[in-house]
Structure formats: C-alpha cells, structure tokens
Amino acid sequence: MKRIILFSALALTALYEARAQQPAGELVQQFIDAYNNRNFGYFEKMLAPDVVVPDDDGHILTDRQHLLDLFRMRFALEPPAKITASNIVTREAGNSLLASFAYTYQRVGDPTKGLITIVFKRAGASWQIALIHYSINLPPQRGRV
C-alpha cells in the first residue's frame, strides 16, 4: 500500500511539472516560429502594452511601439534572419511564465550566439510577453584577465 501511495505521489508530481512547463515551452516555440516566419501580427498580439525590454547593452526599451518598429525593421532585411533555440528552461509561478534559452541568430556571416529570457504574463485566457531580455556571447579576449 505504501508503494502505491508513493508511486501515485511521484506520478502526480511528474504530471504537474510536465503540465507546468509545457505551456512555456510551446510559447517559446511560437516566438521562434513567428520570428523566423516574419509574423509581425504575432508580436502585435503578444507584446503587452507595458512590455519591458532591456537590450544586450543595458538600455531599457519600454515603449511597445519602439519594439514593434525594431521587429518591422528586422523583418524587412534580406536575406531573412533565423533564430534557433536550445537548452530551454521554463518555470511557472501563478500568472507568470519564465522561459530562458540559448539562441543562435543567423543572417549573414558568422552566427551570433547568446541567451534570451522571456517573461509571459496571464492576459485573460491567454498569455502576453511582459519582458524580453537578450544578451550576446562575447568572444574570448586575449590578454585580459
């Protein structure tokens, strides 16, 4: 009997963790697909009115319209850029989902690698992006400690 109770508790815990992480993983994939397919409508829908975007050098882009303008500009570039994601880590806490993942950005020349963190917040029955932070991996520098 103790084994059945223990097994049931472990199964329920695993099921809860899988359910909690699944939505954030799906949201990350939707973000990547929208970027790669130049789906501007996705970003119009998903960016919260009060979205915060600290960029890779520390500036805070708090204006949603400015961020939409940046996506519009990026999507007009030829050849189109592609992003791939790996090492996706997600957490859920109440009405918030956090997703962090390594990315590779490829357009021309050498690919750029870095880390993206997205915080999603509950907006009615769906989710919106409340924060996007991205950083770029710097190449090793010689002669520096």
Cis peptide, bond prior to residue 111, ω within 30 of zero? no
Residue 143 domain-assigned? no
**Three-state secondary-structure class, residue 6:** helix
Q: Which domain holds residue 92?
A: 2-136
Each of the 145 residues of the chain gets a pLDDT tens digit; together they read 444 443 434 443 444 444 444 488 899 999 999 999 999 999 999 999 999 988 666 678 778 998 899 999 999 999 999 999 999 999 998 899 999 999 999 988 889 999 999 999 999 889 999 999 888 887 776 665 5
Residue 35 domain-assigned? yes
Tokens, residue 92 = 């859920």
Q: Tokens 């907006």 sit at which residue?
A: 123
pLDDT at site 145: 54
Residue 118 domain-assigned? yes
| Segment 33-69, tens digit of pLDDT | 999 999 999 999 999 999 998 866 667 877 899 889 9
Tokens, residue 124 = 């009615």
User: CATH number, domain at 110?
Assistant: 3.10.450.50
Other beta carbons within 10 angstroms of residue 10's beta carbon come to 10
Amino acid at 8: S
What gap in Å lies between CA 145 and CA 39, rounded to an integer? Answer: 43
Rounded to whole angstroms, what are the CA distances from 110 to 24, 69, 106, 113?
A: 29, 25, 7, 10
pLDDT at site 60: 80
Q: How many domains does the chain have?
A: 1
What gap in Å lies between CA 64 and CA 68, rounded to an integer? Answer: 6
Residue 141 domain-assigned? no
pLDDT at site 4: 42
pLDDT at site 135: 86
pLDDT at site 120: 96
Residue 142 domain-assigned? no
